[in-house]
A and B are shown apart, each in its own frame.
Chain A
Amino acid sequence: MPVRRIASLILLSCLTCLVLGCARSSATKGWLPVASQARQEAFGGWIEVKYGAGEEEKEVKGELIAVEEDSLFTLSEIGLVSIAAGDISRATLRAYDSKHGTLATWTLLGTLSTASHGLILIISAPVWILWGSVTTGAASRAPEVKYRQEAWEELRKFARFPLGMPGGLDRGHMKAKGFW
């Protein structure tokens, strides 16, 4: 295979990585369960919330605990944070780990493998890249719920308490899902 072709493939693979890295979560590795595990757990999804405006803009990340009519509650490393709905500019929730990173690695290896001689790999590099979008883009976004693009109510069902904050809950001593 010509050197130029190999160089092109490597460039394409690098570019693929750039793109496939778009949808990332700030959750600690292992915090988010995979889809099959998530159905057996009862914690909320991982949410990243930007609120406030201009120089006052803040961000909080953590487990989505509850969504009320006018606010949501996030259990972050500093404790239970309440944010008014009207102050939120953007919120992205991830319900589970889509494992798109593994797919990206698979794609990259597949792409690079076609640059070598002798491998039993009949699929050419561009087809690997095509598979890899698998929409690794779409795969990475499947577990996401984005507020303002989607309704407030959509967030609710991914909260630890989908019915809202339970009465009598000791908010100062809530136990987080490890990793803090």
Chain B
Amino acid sequence: MALLFLGYNCSIQTQTRKVFTPAQFPQEIKSIDGKSPFLKAHTLSGWVYILTDWNVDEAAKKVNGNGKLLNTDREIVESGEFSVPLDSVALFETNVVSTSPAIASMAIITALSVAVTIFCITNPKACFGSCPTFYVSDGERELLQSEGFSASVAPSLEAKDIDALYRARPASRGFQVRMTNEALETHVLRFVNLLAVPKPEGGRVFATASWEFWQAENITAPKKCEAEEGDCLDQILCFDGKERFSQTDSNDLATREAVELEFENVPNGNLGLVIAARQTFLSTYLFYQTLAYMGNSAGEWLTRLKTGGEITKRGAQGIRNVLGGIEVSFQDEFGNWISAGVIHETGPLAADVRVVTLGSFEKGPSRIRLRLTKGHWRLDWLAMVELGNKIEPIQLKPSEVQRQGKIDEKALSLLLDSSQVLVTLPGDEYDLHYQLPEDYKNYELFLESRGYYLEWMREEWLKEENAYLAARMFTNPKAALKDLAPEYKKIEAEIEEYFWKSKYARP
């Protein structure tokens, strides 16, 4: 009952005030469009009319209404019907009251000072943070194989994500995914499903950035890999955790580089380039820096993100767009570099496996170029494949959810109903169980999740609150990336180590 009472009284309203001169009156009144039931007319003497049920008599150049006239002490000197000549008014004022858009916003900002590791204290922007993380067995041990919707850092950025479980090796029809919240974050999940796609005989299935699923065969390794540092072949031959990555530019975090591959005995037909990669912690650092600049106003920023429409959302992606994805080009027979596509999978924790379709060839290209931002990507595996059929996946919803060894019917029902959400807090772990098709070994598995997450503000970040710099991350990301380069360089070499050591774990 108390809640209902408070709810009734709790309609949060905002007020938008406008002031304008009599000359601006006709135009301004149209823009208000009847939303301001009260009109204030200020005179040069400091007295003010407050009128309701007002209207404008343009021919007589007067404002008519019912109300009161107040003196400079704001005492009522007269009340009733007024007809006020426009030329006796120095300034008009309107106040439009509306329900606060903040009502519909969901954001959580909590400043905590937790018992963090020494690494977090000295490097607060290297502190562990992630979206939901998913662990799946490779047949021998559990591996971190997916991180869900890494770019969805606000309710208005809620999105679906599909990650390949390329190294999953199911041992039976019963398949388990462990979902964890290992950061100081609130995770909001709408669903977590498996997608099963039949594999071709002796082949695999790969997904494109737009979630087309292609059967593939003839996986071909490159013969050469050249980058700024020289030979990079060894790092990208297998999907084994050995990665090729570079350092950022000291003066501009957006500086690009190229990695070139050469292939021999390239197959004919419909070809694609497989890329297994994850981001470095550069994007995480920049995200945290943005939150630090927002400081105590972070909630308000997130509200603006929700209410500001598509233009605001696009602005919010500014840094991400400037840093860019991995652009793939191939060299045609005339020596031209033809752009094939780009992958831009956000997330520094789990390498994702994607394919970029190159096209159909009678003689496939032998040279491929990747263009990417220095220090932004860790490449684990690169290979060319021959693409076969495009296949629609089978969607498998969880059949059971367990928490701390016990069946959690509530969590299951929330994940099965996409109008509801499952919210997890730091330290939460859920075991999601799925039933695979009978011939489970013949399927490639992918994890399909949807939701968003909210970063918890660290107290250490609040000291950097700066509205101008926060705004600049959105309005002029290129300049921001130049200015932040020296600071990032100070921690770049150790950030990966700091990050993993500061994972949140329940005692």
Contact pick for A134, options B7, B105, B188, CB 8 Å:
B105
Whether B13 pairs with A113 at a CB distance below 8 angstroms is no
Q: Which of B48, B74, B107 contacts A135 (CB 8 A)?
A: B107
Contact between chains at B50 and A42 (CB < 8 Å): yes
Q: In the complex, what distance in Å separates the CA atom of A8 from the CA atom of B37?
A: 47
Residues of A within 8 A of B424 (CB): 126
Most buried by B among A15, A130, A175: A130
Interface size (B, Cβ < 8 Å)? 59
B108 contacts A22, C-beta separation under 8 Å:
no
Residue pair B102, A142 in contact (C-beta under 8 Å): yes
Q: Which residue of A lies closest to B75 (CB)?
A: A175
Does A169 touch B at the CB level, under 8 Å? Answer: yes
Binary contact track B1-37/A, C-beta < 8 Å → 1, others 0: 0110011011011110111000000000000000011
Docked CA distance A46–B6 (Å): 26
| B46 close to A142 (CB less than 8 A) | no
Query: How far apart sit A166 and B44, CA to CA, in the bound complex (Å)?
Result: 7
With a cutoff of 8 Å between Cβ atoms, the chain A residues found around residue B298 in the complex are 137
Q: Of residues 118 to 167 in A, which have CB atoms within 8 Å of B's CB atoms?
A: 124, 126-127, 129-131, 133-139, 141-143, 149, 156-158, 160-163, 166-167
Residue A157 contacts which of B12, B19, B108 (CB distance < 8 angstroms)?
B19
Task: Let me know if A162 and B93 touch, CB within 8 A.
Answer: yes
Residues of B within 8 A of A35 (CB): 13-15, 95, 97
Task: Choose from A15, A127, A131, A167 the contact partner of B112 (Cβ within 8 Å).
Answer: A15
Distance in Å from the Cβ of A74 to the closest Cβ of chain B?
16
Contact B105 A163 (CB under 8 A): no
With an 8 A cutoff between CB atoms, is B56 at the interface?
no
CB-based contact B112/A133 at 8 Å: no
Q: Mark A15-27, 1 if CB is under 8 A from B, else 0.
A: 1101100100000
Asked whether, in the complex, the Cβ of B95 is within 8 Å of the Cβ of A38, the reply is yes
| A102 and B10 alpha carbons, distance in the complex (Å) | 6
Chain B residues, Cβ within 8 Å of A18: 111
- The CA of A105 and the CA of B296, in the complex, are separated in Å by 20
Give the shortest distance, in Å, between B116 (CB) and chain A (any CB): 15
B110 at the interface (CB under 8 A from A): yes
Residues of A within 8 A of B186 (CB): 126, 129-130
Contacting A at CB under 8 A, from B304-342, are none
Q: Does A95 contact B (CB under 8 A)?
A: yes
Contacts A16-B110, A40-B38, A126-B425 given; indicate if A106 touches B3 (C-beta within 8 A).
yes
Q: In the complex, what residues of A have CB within 8 A of residue B100's CB?
A: 98, 134, 138-139, 142
Given contacts A124-B423, A163-B44, contact A43 B74 (CB under 8 A): yes
B346 within 8 A of A: no
Whether A109 touches B300, Cβ cut-off 8 Å, given contacts A137-B109, A157-B93, is no
Which residues from A are CB-within-8-Å of B300?
135, 137-138, 141
- In the complex the two chains form, is A36's CB within 8 Å of B108's CB? no
Bound state CA distance, A99 and B454, in angstroms? 25
Q: Looking at the complex, which one of A19, A130, A135, A166 makes contact with B72 (CB distance below 8 Å)?
A: A166
Q: How far is the CB of A73 from chain B (nearest CB, A)?
A: 12
Among A100, A134, A156, residue most surrounded by chain B Cβ atoms (within 10 Å): A134
Supposing A34-B13, A95-B17, A175-B74 touch, asked if A40 and B50 sit within 8 A by C-beta, the answer is: yes
- Whether B108 lies near A130 (C-beta < 8 A) is yes
Complex alpha-carbon distance, A174 and B210, angstroms: 68
State whether the Cβ of B467 lies closer than 8 Å to any Cβ in chain A: yes
| Chain B, 56-79, CB within 8 A of any chain A CB | 70, 72-75
- Nearest-neighbour CB distance to chain A for B470, whole angstroms, equals 11
A25–B423 Cα distance when bound, in Å, is 33
Q: Name which residue of chain A comes closest to B300, CB basis.
A: A138
Contact B19 A133 (CB under 8 A): no
Interface string of A83-110 (1 = CB under 8 A from B): 0000000000001101110110110011
Interchain nearest-CB distance for A177 vs B (Å)? 7
Q: Which one of B12, B297, B425 contacts A137 once the chains associate, using CB atoms below 8 Å?
A: B297
Q: Cβ of B425 and Cβ of A135 under 8 Å apart?
A: no
Q: Which of A105, A106, A109 has the most CB of B within 10 A?
A: A106
Shortest Cβ distance from residue A3 to the other chain B in the assembled complex, whole angstroms: 14
**Residue of B with least CB distance to A131:** B106
When the two chains form their complex, are residues A42 and B6 in contact, meaning their CB atoms are under 8 A apart? no
When distances are taken between beta carbons in the complex, the residues of chain B under 8 Å from A139 are: 12, 100, 102-103
Is B207 part of the binding interface, using a Cβ–Cβ cutoff of 8 Å? Answer: no
B84 within 8 A of A: no
Q: Does B215 contact A (CB under 8 A)?
A: no
Cα–Cα distance between A133 and B300 once the two chains are bound (Å): 9
Of the A-B pairs whose beta carbons lie under 8 Å apart in the complex, a sample of 21, sorted by A's number, is A42-B40, A99-B13, A103-B12, A110-B3, A113-B3, A129-B186, A130-B188, A133-B108, A135-B105, A135-B109, A135-B299, A137-B299, A138-B102, A138-B302, A139-B103, A157-B19, A157-B93, A162-B93, A166-B44, A169-B46, A175-B74
Closest 7 A/B residue pairs (Cβ)? A166-B46, A137-B299, A39-B95, A135-B299, A175-B73, A35-B15, A126-B423
Given contacts A166-B46, A177-B74, 20 further A-B contacts (CB under 8 A): A8-B425, A15-B111, A35-B14, A38-B95, A39-B97, A42-B74, A95-B17, A98-B13, A99-B12, A106-B3, A129-B108, A138-B100, A138-B102, A139-B12, A139-B100, A141-B300, A166-B44, A167-B45, A168-B45, A175-B73
